[in-house]
Structure 1
Amino acid sequence: MALRCLIVDDSDHFKEAARRMLEADGIAVVGMAATSAEALRWFRRLRPDLVLVDIDLGEENGFDVVRRLSEEAGGRRPRIILISTYDEQDYADMIAASPAVAFLSKPSLSGRAIDEILRKSSA
């Protein structure tokens, strides 16, 4: 069964490009959101296996979205990966403190990279 993914990003262009690429890699993108409210609504409805959350959501903060999604999940820690065009070192402390399982730069986004992250996080 394909991994079911929700993408949270304020760029429609990026969401569509990421959807095409991930689906070509065998990951089913079941929803896309641009705001924290949309992300929570889709998360509750779809219960995806994985959520990709952009750190910079325009006027919103991806770290807040990750925290809210984790609270929504209750006892089950959702598999959330923070994504950004910025370098990981720019946000290293905030990434480490967040409930996200990892960070992945947008240029490195691929099904293989996600599989590797999820394997490491469940080990």
Structure 2
Amino acid sequence: MRALRELYKKFLGENDSESRGLRLLRDWLSAEQRAQFDAKRYFEVIGCHSGRRYRIHYGSATNVHEIDHAGRPRVGWCFVPVGYLVAGDVMLAQKIALETNERGALALANRFVPKDTDCLNLPY
């Protein structure tokens, strides 16, 4: 009976909306992005129009940073889909938006200065 109870708890823990969102996100990541996400809780994408690199951190707001050639955050972008979505779903939407319609995503996004102090002196 205890084994059955543990199995049931495990199933419920792996079947909540957050877990499902992360599974869906991981299914859409390349092997390199998946490894990066597993190790660092972020992954990088290339914008389809500019070729710029973006780092999408785990989260659902102010979690997208445009990064420079050295991998430092240059500028932050905040854009999310409408409605309440878990972090994995938001991150997947951000990935798809940057890879398929970068200009459209950034036209709607709010720009911000990342908290990394190295980027505070960069011209915008």
Instruction: Decide: shared fold, TM above 0.5.
Output: no
Q: Compute the TM-score of the two structures, normalised by the length of structure 1.
A: 0.25
Q: Which has the higher strand share?
A: 1
